């Protein structure tokens, strides 16, 4: 067989075979932790939780379970008997509240240590909440304001993080 050089090698020289491509996908492990060990985020930007909506979500959780794990960071506190471990909620407070109503003993979580710093934790919580459609306009505006003041983000940077236009952020 004749070996080709230069032009005329075919498309395989330009486009690699798909079998040899391994995408860089970060896989997070899901753990089940006791529900009482998951603490709400004290920096939670959302204040209003619709009771009827929580009850509906609770019914769904009883029937199907929690379909999307909660995002948490691990926190260790030293006490007189050793180390106390709990998990600080980053995203998923509605699911956590509904799981408590449903009486679940354990909840699925993804533990992210890269958000253990309070500012990073707050930023992710703010962004996750702003991306929800049922956030009221005042809460949304307060979240944008906190992102700007506490993280020094411009309206354009905020818009990119929450996947909205700069005009939407500015108007809020």
Q: Percentage of the chain surpassing pLDDT 70?
A: 69
117 is catalytic: no
Question: For the residues 41-70, what does the mean pLDDT come to?
Answer: 82
Mean pLDDT score of the chain: 77
* Order of strands across the sheet that contains 106-111: 30-34, 106-111, 70-79, 82-91, 38-39
Question: For the residues 10-32, what does the mean pLDDT come to?
Answer: 63
Long-range contacts of 18-24 (CB under 8 A, 24+ apart): none
pLDDT at 170: 85
DSSP 22: -
Comparison of pLDDT for 152 and 132, the residue scoring more? 152
pLDDT at 105: 94
Catalytic residue (choose from 78, 93, 139, 160): 93
pLDDT at 79: 82
Q: Give me the residues paired with residue 71 across strands.
A: 91, 110
pLDDT band, very low/low/confident/very high, at 53 (cuts 50, 70, 90):
confident
Statement: the pTM of the whole predicted model exceeds 0.85: no
Question: For the residues 117-126, what does the mean pLDDT come to?
Answer: 62
Comparison of pLDDT for 139 and 68, the residue scoring more? 68
Task: Give the model confidence (pLDDT) of 90-106 as tens digits.
Answer: 888 888 999 999 999 99
pLDDT at 4: 57
Q: How far apart are CA 28 and CA 92, in angstroms?
A: 16
């Amino acid at each position: 067989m004749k070996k080709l050089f230069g032009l005329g090698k075919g498309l395989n020289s330009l486009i690699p075979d798909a079998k040899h491509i391994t995408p860089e996908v970060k896989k997070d492990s899901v753990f089940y932790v006791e529900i009482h060990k998951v603490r709400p985020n004290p920096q939670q930007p959302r204040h209003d939780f619709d009771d009827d909506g929580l009850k509906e979500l609770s019914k769904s959780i009883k029937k199907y379970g929690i379909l999307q794990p909660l995002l948490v960071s691990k926190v260790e506190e030293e006490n007189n008997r050793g180390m106390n471990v709990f998990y600080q909620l980053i995203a998923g407070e509605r699911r956590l509240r509904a799981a408590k109503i449903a009486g679940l003993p354990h909840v699925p979580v993804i533990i992210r240590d890269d958000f253990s710093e309070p500012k990073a934790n707050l930023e992710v919580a703010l962004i996750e909440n702003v991306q929800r459609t049922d956030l009221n306009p005042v809460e949304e505006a307060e979240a944008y304001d906190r992102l700007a003041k506490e993280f020094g983000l411009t309206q354009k940077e905020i818009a990119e993080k929450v996947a909205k236009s700069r005009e939407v952020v500015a108007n809020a």
